[in-house]
Structure 1
């Protein structure tokens, strides 16, 4: 009786302690929710106080997943590499009736999909977030979502849609009273208009952003000056562009951004023939830690020396630029390979641990059964010993045989487990070797395909090469590059439609973002001829008059 009372006391005490711990976790999560927007570093410290977050269930688990993702993102930590954490929040809140948290969950899920390069899934997540927040007054969050949708549309070459998204983000930032958000929205709209070559609208929105910006030390001020400089430079107003670039450099506080402004200033000087000033700007950027800026500086020095007819030094600068880019590509491939190896090693350890745990559980259950049998048999033998001694001896022998069979089965199970582990190790080794082979092959393909194609495309965009003078190998390099980057775009469209070589090249250049003006230069013809070529291509692609050729090719 006393034993039963002791067990009941332990059960009630354990439940009381568990409830107390749960209540403290809920209070801690509420504190994090109150401060994560304004003090993300404090929120991160509070979340680290949770001793057993893996034991949280239901709403508390979803709250923890969402708050941890927010805190990591706002502290600029590595939070957007895996979607397993935020999926917990998405799966819970989408049917919970809490529309604000559901919208936030889908917003962060969309950001993760952007990092993973899954554009369609990211767009779907952002649109679902807007659906949940439609009747809510989370204006700043809605502004952020429209801003990210604009980034996606701009990346797909859909300039008008991106501009509309950025304008909506400005509207919601105004409702939220976020003046800095409005400034960034104006800059985004200006960039959209600049990408579509609507320079007047781009200039107006960039100036509006400067007028809204009261803080002269804010970093966005420099980027607005740079954007204004690019706009007037494209209009041929080089002196005004140089003034804007100098203003961007003077108001800049970030070292890397300042280097980008020096590159823009150097390009302006180079365009007007002031090679000494241009070279000084490029020299300022060539020996920096940022490999992309350093590579860009060497590339501009290559173009500068080529204009000065100093071909020997131009080639040396070109080799330096290409070598830096090759180092970056090799580092990226190495990091990807290392990540895959770590993943397979982690999977292998998980499998081995699961196998060991399963074997231990089976052994524990099996030995428990054996102990129960032995205890039962022993009790029965003791009870019947005096009456049936001979029968007891036979039963004992029978039980000993059973024990031997069980021991043999245990040995067999252990051997089978060892053989399975060895087989899995062999499979993992083969997979690792295959990864190395495929990685090496991908590097060789990229090196052979991308370099020549990028050089030819650069020559086409700069007007140094026209289609009539292109070699078959140069055309084929562009087609191979498109197949590599856009999932066999050329091969698929050539198979699905009957296109001439000229039509195929025109579709490829449109896919790569060449404007009508650039096509006019590339094909060395008038705008009317470009228009007729596009109409002919539309008919070959079986499009109606009201269908957009550029949109069809962009999403093909």
Structure 2
């Protein structure tokens, strides 16, 4: 009685837990659906919703994988840097095991490639991009295919494979046009313009920069300053410094971000330095010295060093050089300290997480195993009771099945033996017929030879043409081969006589073989004729002056050319041909 109550209590607990989990799963599924709706149009809202989910580290299974994938996607859409690949790896591992959602697995592969690319692991990232591309090509998802093409193009450009990069960017450009995605068109236009710039193809680069600029101005996209700056770089690379100046100035005047404004000052200062306009170069380079970005200040001091050095102001040049070196050394020390601190924090965090996880796992494992053990004992008792009842009937059924199978096996073996005997009889009968006919051929050839000699003794003339003489000669040759008196291999003339004889005797036998398989060699045709005539394997080995294994291999090649299956008998096939 107590056991029954315990069983009911356990099942009640499991049922309540399942209902509760089901309700939580429905709420979470609705939240994830809302995040997906906002992902493209308002990625910052999608990120906010994800950050509002309480205790995301407690999510398990599909819920945890969906959260990891959506969070990685939201961070990417909001241009956030990835500190590690642990989040997206969680999603990829789950979808790689659970094969029911191949689209989610492919999407996880794409974003895993994005995270690896951010970590300067281009080669590994490329593998994941190509794996995702294979799936999305099969379902024709051009939106993600265009994004993948952009990523692979950037990898190829980084590896200085500009032709491959341009091919990828053009493919992405075409797909964005098909989807009427103007922002994607602007983005891929800039990629192509940069690739042409690296290849010194100025006209093509200028065309795509201007195309992107017009579309950006029309749609009010936030790319205008970047395009103006890169157009200045284009003209500077072409050596047209005067044409580059208005683009750099326009980018400087329109830039509202203070840090980027210092970068524009640096570009203007360097341009004026190249143009020899010293005062203006100093003005903008000194402005860029106030940048909060250390590397911008280093470049500003370096350019001022060269500028002062060129005008023979060596004292100021030395000062600028020392400032650039001091900032460089400080940055190296800070980077090393930051790296050590970051690694220490990461280690402490992972250690704490591991300890908490270990304790949680121990508690959960104890509870879970207690319930599992109880259910397992109850299940085993029921199972063995049921198994004991079915045991005897199952034994009778199995014994009956075994007897039936043995009878079937005996019957099939008898059929196989009968078929084998019939096959052997047919082969023996065919060989006997071939031998009988060959004997008649040889007898007639000998009679013709004796009659020809007798006719000559009587002073008569044999009324046969050149072809008859050829056939008689072929008969003699065939007789010599059969008797084993032939020495050396057949000449080309002897082969032709032999082939003509077989055409005469067996209804164009050689001609039909060549019509069936024009690739047959003279050696193949010889084998066909000798087998038709009834010569054995050993006789062929003696005639061709080779080993039996070589004859076997030659027969195998001949089967392949004639289209005869390996199981068929070649002699039987040729005797019936």
2:293 pairs, out of 290, 295, 320, with 290
Equivalent-residue separation in structure 1 for 2:245 and 2:255 (angstroms): 15
User: How far does the alpha carbon of each residue in 1:300-353 deviate from its partner, in whole angstroms, 9 at most, with x for none?
Assistant: 111111111111101111111222222222222111111222233345556766
SS of the counterpart of 2:139? Answer: coil
User: How far does the alpha carbon of each residue in 1:113-149 deviate from its partner, in whole angstroms, 9 at most, with x for none?
Assistant: 1222222101111111211211334333222222222
Does structure 1 residue 225 correspond to structure 2 residue 228? yes
Does structure 1 residue 193 correspond to structure 2 residue 196? yes
User: Residue in 2 aligned with 1:369?
Assistant: none
Does structure 1 residue 268 correspond to structure 2 residue 271? yes
Q: TM-score by structure 1 length?
A: 0.59
User: Residue in 1 aligned with 2:155?
Assistant: 152
User: Residue in 2 aligned with 1:451?
Assistant: none
SS of the counterpart of 1:309? Answer: coil
Distance 1:347 1:270, change over 3 A: closer
SS of the counterpart of 2:324? Answer: helix
Does structure 1 residue 30 correspond to structure 2 residue 33? yes
SS of the counterpart of 2:137? Answer: coil
Aligned pairs for 1:34-53 (under 5 A) are: 34-51=37-54, 53=56
Equivalent-residue separation in structure 2 for 1:216 and 1:11 (angstroms): 57
Equivalent-residue separation in structure 2 for 1:361 and 1:135 (angstroms): 43
Asked if the contact 1:143–1:168 (Cα under 8 Å) also holds between the matched residues in 2, the reply is: yes
Does structure 1 residue 247 correspond to structure 2 residue 250? yes
Equivalent-residue separation in structure 2 for 1:96 and 1:139 (angstroms): 22
User: Residue in 2 aligned with 1:303?
Assistant: 306
User: Residue in 1 aligned with 2:106?
Assistant: 103
Larger CA deviation: 86-95 vs 179-188: 86-95
Equivalent-residue separation in structure 2 for 1:84 and 1:359 (angstroms): 23
User: Residue in 1 aligned with 2:90?
Assistant: 88
Q: CA RMSD in A?
A: 3.1
Does structure 1 residue 213 correspond to structure 2 residue 219? no
Question: Across the two proteins, how many residue pairs are aligned to each other?
Answer: 363
User: How far does the alpha carbon of each residue in 1:415-458 deviate from its partner, in whole angstroms, 9 at most, with x for none?
Assistant: xxxxxxxxxxxxxxxxxxxxxxxxxxxxxxxxxxxxxxxxxxxx
Q: Unpaired runs of 5+ in structure 2?
A: 368-577
Distance 1:62 1:172, change over 3 A: same
Asked if the contact 1:305–1:313 (Cα under 8 Å) also holds between the matched residues in 2, the reply is: yes
User: Residue in 1 aligned with 2:429?
Assistant: none
- CA drift at 1:200: 2.2
Asked if the contact 2:183–2:221 (Cα under 8 Å) also holds between the matched residues in 1, the reply is: no
Aligned pairs for 1:113-124 (under 5 A) are: 113-124=116-127
Asked if the contact 2:266–2:285 (Cα under 8 Å) also holds between the matched residues in 1, the reply is: yes
Aligned pairs for 1:131-530 (under 5 A) are: 131-215=134-218, 218-346=221-349, 348-349=351-352
Equivalent-residue separation in structure 2 for 1:108 and 1:362 (angstroms): 33
Asked if the contact 1:102–1:132 (Cα under 8 Å) also holds between the matched residues in 2, the reply is: no
Asked if the contact 2:216–2:224 (Cα under 8 Å) also holds between the matched residues in 1, the reply is: yes
Asked if the contact 2:133–2:145 (Cα under 8 Å) also holds between the matched residues in 1, the reply is: yes
Larger CA deviation: 50-59 vs 279-288: 50-59
User: Residue in 2 aligned with 1:16?
Assistant: 19
Equivalent-residue separation in structure 1 for 2:281 and 2:84 (angstroms): 44
Asked if the contact 2:217–2:224 (Cα under 8 Å) also holds between the matched residues in 1, the reply is: no
Q: Unpaired runs of 5+ in structure 1?
A: 365-556
